[in-house]
Amino acid sequence: KLEEIDQRVRLFKPGMHVLDLGAAPGSWTLYAAEHVGRAGKVLAMDRSPLTVGLPPNATFILGDALVLGNEELARFAPYDVVLSDMAPSTTGSKPTDQARSFELFMRGLAIAATLVRKGGSFVGKIFMSEDLPLARAELRRTFARERLIRPEGTRSVSTELFVVGMERMIP
């Protein structure tokens, strides 16, 4: 999914600093680390350990984005890109799952609004719901451009969507 998003909006360049929220199992972290190269840095964070080995330019911290303070996530800040593939543990209740997804999206966006450098980008996963317009409006307060991306590999019954903010504005 990240590869497809990157192909559409060209997120990564060598030397960039990337924060990967909700990084487990680790495929997004590896992709980002490869594309920012040895001069770049990737900080990955998740409540679950990664299932992959990391290259020297990537670091993992175990934690919950809803609990960790921004200072703990700022190790390589300012970031060029903040990725949030965070998803709630689903309950089977569509309204509950959507509300939890919205909360995680908004936390990722708040972290990006604080830690992304001018001109940087944010990619956040969200389950489509009536909260989507609120999420998009908040994203547009921080980023000059927005893209909604539903990767081709997404199951047809899934409500998963990625909202991409590009060109971080400084207030």
Which residues belong to the active site?
Answer: 125
In sequence order, the 6+-apart residues with CB closer than 8 A to the CB of 135 are 102, 105, 106, 109, 124, 126, 163
Average pLDDT, the chain: 94
Sign of CA dihedral 83, 108, 24, 146: negative
Mean pLDDT in residue range 143-155: 86
**Residue range 11-64, pLDDT digits in tens:** 999 999 999 999 999 999 999 999 999 999 999 999 999 999 999 999 999 999
pLDDT of residue 154: 61
Q: Are 33 and 40 in contact (CB under 8 A)?
A: yes
State residue 81 phi and psi, 5-degree precision: -140, 135
**CA 39 distance to own-chain centroid:** 21
